Amino acid sequence: MTATLVAAPPGTPFIEVERAFDAPRDLVYRAWTDPDIVVRWLGPRRLQMRVDYWELGARGGSYRYLHAGEDGVEHAFHGSFHRTGADPYTLVQTFEYEGAPGHVSLDELRLVERDGQTVARIRSVHQTVEARDAMVAAGMSEGLDDGFQRLDELLAAGLAGAR
């Protein structure tokens, strides 16, 4: 298992994440952008995910999804996808937790091939240091790591069951 590296430098509104996956970049990109696959890995195992809408095209799009626990409580997230155009393996999106309206982050995902692996590099820019700190304190690292472990399992199976 590969470690998920998360850095939140003091005094900055940034979170940087790096994680290597033992799979080709095309497959990792598909897992990150196909909503039928995303629902199978994004977030902690203890939560069920459902997509309200997920529209990603050549010029961008938008999304909204919900995570629900066994207690039935739902947590909704939404945002807009933006395409950089320069690199087809880079995805920029806004991210907003509907439980904290108005706190929007701008996230960039870059998928880089390195030594037979695909390295996902994520940079999340928050509006304030306090908003960034709240995201970290909410258990973001644990949720990311659990989701990435689930993604490892799907990639090892060649995304078995994906449409």
- 14-61 residue pLDDT tens: 999 999 999 999 999 999 999 999 999 999 999 999 999 999 988 889
Domain ranges within the chain, ordered by starting residue:
5-156
> What's the pLDDT tens digit per position in 61-112?
999 999 999 999 999 999 999 976 678 899 999 999 999 899 999 999 999 9
Closest listed residue to residue 17, CA positions, set 106, 126, 145: 145
Q: What is the DSSP string of 106-158?
A: EEEEEEEEETTEEEEEEEEE-SSHHHHHHHHHTTHHHHHHHHHHHHHHHHHTT
Taking the model in full, what pTM does it have? Answer: 0.91
> What is the dotted CATH code of the domain comprising 5-156?
3.30.530.20
Nearest one of 2, 4, 7, 20 to 120, comparing CA atoms: 20
